[in-house]
Amino acid sequence: MKKFFILTLFTTLLLLPTTQFAQSKKEKEKQAKLAAAVTEKKPETTIKEYGKIVTKEAKSDEGLFTVHKVDKKYYFEIPNKLLDKDMLLVSRLSKLPSDLGGGYVNAGSETNEQLVIWQRFQDKVLLKVKSYNAVADPSLPISISVKNNNYEPVLFAFDIVAFSTNSENTVIDVTKFYSTDVKAISGLSAAMRETYKVKAIDDSRSFITAMKSFPMNIEVVQDFTYNASNPPVMKDAETISIQMNQSMILLPEIPMQPRLADPRVGWFTMSQIDYGSNELKSDSKTFIRRWRLEPKDPEAYARGELVEPIKPIVYYIDPATPEKLRKYIRQGIEEWQKPFETAGFKNAIIAKDPPTKEEDPDFSPEDIRYSVIRYVASTTRNAVGPSVSDPRTGEIIESDVIWYHNHLRSYRNRYLLETGAANPSARTLNTSDEEMGEMMRFVIAHEVGHALGFPHNMGASNAYEVENYRNGSFTQKSGIAASLMDYARFNYIAQPGDKGIRFIRQMGPYDHYALNWGYRVIPNAISPEAEVATLDKWITDKAGDLNYKFGKQSSSFDPTSQTEDIGNNSMKASSYGLKNLEFVASNLSKWTSDATNNYEDLDELYKEMLDVWSRYIGHVVTNVGGVYENTKKPNQKGNVFDVVPKAKQQEAMQWLQANAFASPTWLVNLATLKNIDFSGYTERFRSLQVRHLNNVLSFERIGRLMDTEIVGANNYNALDLLQDMRKGMWKEASSGSNVTIYRRNLQRAYLERMNFLMNEELKAGTTREFYNVAQSDVRGLVRGELNILKSSLSVAKNAAVNTETKYHYQDCIKRIEKILDPK
């Protein structure tokens, strides 16, 4: 046993040094590897010393961020305190080719607006798009779910290239973001890219033009050129070039208290879905867009005294504006002072001349702190009043009203055409400065109205009786519509001999009412919901008074809410308008070419006169199949929608047959046409008549009329429409009289339209989706009417007085047969 113990001990002692040596060897290898890793060269970081990025050659501009241009690169130096702050990224077209977007897109048009934040993530700064469409109070548990289910997309990721020497600012390279085709800030929509067959941006012809930083915003101008095989103009060049303006705007640290919208008063709006609502579903909230106006003296304001706002709305007049026009622009801006007084504010909106270089060397229209009435040297005939608003609350931050140089020419032309019969001072191409200034004053006021938050109120002119437009004292007091925001430009109803008439629009009672509703501060209302009872009472107090009714521009079916019309009876108003236009047509040469000894103005005005004729016709068409819309709440009496009475629809149809679809002997004025065109006399008018014919015989209109059968037995219905159209359109067949060339053209157009109604294969996504045409009465009614017409023409062709009429009827019979049996 002892031997065994001694042997074991010896063996253990013998093995011990070997194990210790092995462990020591492994440790040494481990330490060697660690030493090698330490001495191995680290990869070079992308973050460099500030001086190596922002070199002495840098051209720097301090503002919201400091912007640096070094050689061909652009950098943002972002104060760290502005990371995670809400900002607005607004993309606008600055310059564009003609007819881009079919002519509905102008310089200054906004293409996108996004709320964004700059956010640090490791060695990058992310530009993230933040949404306020879905919200919840941060104190509520559901706010966690709202955030998780509305994760903000990353618009762009920027490498951090340097930190400022004091480490308070982060520098990123923004060259790639602003010089490449980032879809979210592009001026070309997906539809445009498809239409114009845009292939790709051409980097060699695309660049950053300018970058400027101001205290509250950064402005970037980009010139982009795209390769496109089907551009809107200059198709051989296969190129589209546009100039974009990108605005980055810091939003207020303390958001304004929003005001809940009500569809009974017209406002531009923005919407949110509130998941913190106590309702059994998410609660959709819509806020109006308005400036932040707060009284300097809240106590005096609450007592009903006029009080100045802490920060008034100030518009600067563009230095490029011609001197003689500046006073009218000033008047147009300050025209809104009276409505603001109705809301309890004095000097709430002010016009100012731009400061001189000595007064403010840094003044720029691009600075978000300044709102400017811009005067643009452009052949565009338009004016617009866009604004930038906070998507969190609807607060308008800034707006620039844009006036295009040639816009007054449109007003001169329409002044002559629409008022020349009753208004001798309009019968000239040299309209007086005073009259042109008065027109400009109220165009500016109209556009400023948009910039204050108002959309068009197309129902405002329906408040006035037609005969009141011939009353001098009424028009001088009330103008030509209850709101300046209607498209009621001139009084085309007044007749020759009417005295003391006002022909130009002006501010109306609705403008005072709507501005008070949106801007008056309601004392002690500490939330949007707390204001609702008061706001609702202001509306119900005026309910039933057409002076305070809002009519949507989007309505295509309500004859009381139409663009460019005046008066409460379309047939009466358009009859007066056509009577005046006939007088103008007979004198157009005398007022134009005879005075100038050239035909340019005659040509231009004659074509515009046809447009005026077409507008008057269109106002009557809307009565057929028309539906009145009276927006109201359930506690108000009456329906929201009511069909136009049968008698009025029949009156409209009779009027159209007598005026729109008759032979236009006075409008196709050969004395004029022979001096401006060598051919196309009948075609010029055919196209106008057919436009209205097709509008009357539209699937949408017939669909509404089919609905009236269940609304009431005595209503005008689809069969009434088709019968009245057939009888009026083919009255010569029953009377045995000749058919003029105008009527032959129109009758063939009628058959083409009936073929469309009978055989058109409808595609998904059309405006006819509100009913199934194939399973409706439409084609049965059309077939019945065509069979009656075929029988009538079979008799009439044998009694035709002249050969053209006989051949015409024979041809029409064949066309009908083919419609009824296409195979």
CA angle 759, 761, 763 (to 5 degrees): 155
Nearest of 291, 334, 335, 331 to residue 309 by alpha carbon: 291
Q: For the ranges 89-103, 114-128, 186-200, 335-349, which has the lowest average pLDDT?
A: 89-103
Number of helices and strands (H, E) in the chain?
25, 24
> Which of residues 29 and 224 earns the better pLDDT score?
224
Residue 387 pLDDT level (bands cut at 50, 70, 90)? confident
Query: Residue 749: its pLDDT value, please?
Result: 98
pLDDT band for position 823 (cuts 50, 70, 90): confident
Q: Give the residue extent of every domain in the chain.
A: 50-251
**What mean pLDDT is predicted for residues 17-33?**
54
Of 375, 349, 715, give the one whose Cα is nearest residue 511.
349
**407 or 2, greater pLDDT:** 407
The reported pLDDT for the residue numbered 449 is 96
Q: Which residues of 79-97 are buried (b: 16+ CB within 10 A; e: fewer)?
A: eeeeeeebbbbbbbbbebb
Angstrom distance (rounded) from CA 268 to CA 195 = 30
Structure confidence at residue 617 (pLDDT) = 98
Residue-level pLDDT at 564: 95
Question: Could you report the per-residue pLDDT of 101-137, keeping only the tens digit for each?
Answer: 776 677 777 889 899 999 999 999 999 998 776 544 5
The pair of structure tokens assigned to 651 is: 């009156």
| pLDDT for the residue 133 | 61
Assign 14 a pLDDT band (cuts: 50, 70, 90).
very low
| For residues 189-209, average pLDDT | 92
Q: Are 526 and 601 in contact (CB under 8 A)?
A: no
Answer yes or no: are the C-beta atoms of 189 and 111 closer than 8 Å.
Answer: yes
For position 278, what pLDDT does the model report? 57
Does the pLDDT of residue 626 top 80, yes or no? Answer: yes
Give dist(CA 776, CA 791) in Å, integer: 25
**pLDDT for residue 139:** 56
Q: Which of 218, 215, 211, 237 is nearest to 226 (CA)?
A: 237
pLDDT, position 680: 82
Banded model confidence at residue 330, pLDDT cuts 50, 70, 90:
very high
Helix (H, G, I), strand (E, B) or coil at 332: helix
Of 154-168, 269-283, 293-307, 467-481, the least confident? 269-283
What would the mean pLDDT of 338-346 be, rounded to a whole number?
A: 98
The per-residue pLDDT for range 721-768, each reduced to its tens digit, is: 999 999 999 999 989 899 999 999 999 999 999 999 999 887 655 555
pLDDT of the residue at 5: 39
Distances (CA, A) of 253 to 86, 393, 394, 751: 8, 12, 14, 64
β partners of residue 273: 134, 284
pLDDT digits (tens, 9 = 90+) for 352-374: 998 888 888 878 888 888 898 88
For 588-618, the DSSP string reads HHHHTHHHHSSSHHHHHHHHHHHHHHHHHHH
Q: What is the pLDDT of residues 249-265, one digit of tens each?
A: 999 999 999 999 999 99
Most trustworthy range by pLDDT among 382-396, 577-591, 769-783: 577-591
pLDDT, one tens digit per residue, over 57-105 is 999 999 999 999 999 999 999 999 999 999 999 998 888 888 787 766 7
pLDDT at 4 over 70: no
* Mean pLDDT, residues 367-395 taken together: 83
As a whole number of angstroms, the distance between CA 560 and CA 622 comes to: 9
**Full DSSP string of 13-71:** HHHHHHHHHHHHHHHHHHHHHHHHHHHSPPPPPS-B-HHHHS-TT-EEE-SSSEEEEET
Distance of CA 172 to the CA centre of its chain: 35
736: Cβ contacts below 8 Å, ≥ 6 apart = 796, 799, 801
Q: What is the pLDDT of residue 7?
A: 42
What pLDDT is stored for residue 12 in this prediction?
A: 43
Per-residue confidence (pLDDT) for residue 77, from 0 to 100: 97
* Beta carbons of 192 and 181 less than 8 angstroms apart: no
Q: Mean pLDDT, to the nearest integer, of 286-314?
A: 97
Residue percentage of the chain with pLDDT more than 90: 71
Higher pLDDT, 23 or 228: 228
Least confident residue range of 317-326, 538-547, 668-677: 668-677
Mean pLDDT computed over 14-27 = 50
How far is C-alpha 666 from the geometric centre of its chain's CA atoms?
37
- Helix axes of 718-729 and 646-659: crossing angle, nearest 10 degrees: 20
Angstrom distance (rounded) from CA 352 to CA 279: 48
503 vs 676, higher pLDDT: 503
Q: Give the single-character DSSP code of 490.
A: B
pLDDT of residue 614: 97
- Kindly state the average pLDDT of the residues 611-621: 97
How far apart CA 261 and CA 812 sit, in angstroms, is: 55
Task: Identify the pLDDT of residue 338.
Answer: 98
Half-sphere exposure of 25 (CA within 13 A, CB side): 6
Q: How far apart (Å, rounded) are the C-alpha atoms in residues 21 and 115?
A: 68
pLDDT at 29: 65
Residue 665 pLDDT > 80? yes
CB atoms within 10 A of CB 454: 27
Report the C-alpha gap between 11 and 22 in whole angstroms.
17
**For residues 360-389, b (16+ Cβ closer than 10 Å) or e, as one string?**
eeebebbbbebbbbbbbebebebbbbbbbb
**Contact predicate 76/65, CB 8 Å:** yes
**How many angstroms from the chain centroid is the CA of residue 413?**
25
Chain mean pLDDT for the chain: 89
Residue 554 has pLDDT above 90, yes or no: no
* pTM, two decimal places: 0.86
d(CA 210, CA 262): 42
Q: pLDDT band for position 9 (50/70/90)?
A: very low
| CA-wise closest residue to 328 among 398, 407, 387 | 407
